[in-house]
Structure 1
């Protein structure tokens, strides 16, 4: 999570993380349109498999990888949500699955 002014040198040193955050920020900005045109529901139904495993726990399978999402604890085993404070795609899929219930 960014807690102060970030220098260009720091951005270059962590370029992969910043590329991912930039890409995800663009998706968040377009979330209303993506939802309106059904892309988010298609993604959550087609690309990932979501398994509810408790009060607020989800196992999200994406390809050959599986992630544990805990909504109330604000954690995902990919750690992107923990580190950035921005919900990762696995969390977004879990939230949409919970909303469908």
Structure 2
């Protein structure tokens, strides 16, 4: 549930995407992963790559947000995570 490598990966990818935009790339949108996370990266359902954990033992298949889901939600609100795991407002400047 504490998927720090995913958070680091998302942060780095989004940072690179911002660099590309600043260098003139025409970016129309961004998706984390899609279509069942490529069927869990071709590992069937033995591993979970999504932002949410799905309890396959639960008949209702309950979903629980991983730390990366919380991080991404806060990122979209313009907040940044400190090393102690708390969030604070961050000013984002998108200048070309």
| TM-score exceeds 0.5 | no
TM-score (norm 1): 0.28
Q: Which has the larger radius of gyration?
A: 2
More helix by share: 1
The answer to which structure, 1 or 2, has the higher relative contact order (CA under 8 A, 6+ apart) is 2
More strand by share: 1
